[in-house]
Amino acid sequence: MDECLAYFRQAVTNPASVPPWSEWWAQNAALVEQVFPLIDYVRLKHRRLLGARQILRNRGELPDDFEPPSGRVTGSCPNCGDRVSSPNGTHIFCPNCGLIEEYHTVSNR
């Protein structure tokens, strides 16, 4: 369980430093099912990184008002942990969640 939690911590606070959630999950789903309570397994399965965030919060490892780093900065979706793309530079798209962020560049023109 510790290595799962270590991954969650990394994925939640610095997602670019670890493999995307979908890859990690594909390799570790069976392990998670063994070591976590069923409710947490289901939470992780369906809510992915968001579920991991809730688990860390429940353990008192994250403040209640924790804000995940922006997908624009990390290149990863803060909700599901997969890599995002930014096709036109003003929107961030996640392959799972769709449009997750919209922003307008005011500089660098």
Sites of contact with Zn ion (CB under 5 A): 77, 79-80, 94, 96-97
Nearer to Zn ion, 4 or 77 (CB): 77
* 83 DSSP 8-state letter: B
* Rounded Cα distance, 76 and 13, in Å: 11
Q: Which residues contact 15 (CB under 8 A, 6 or more apart)?
A: 49, 69, 74, 75, 76, 77, 78, 81
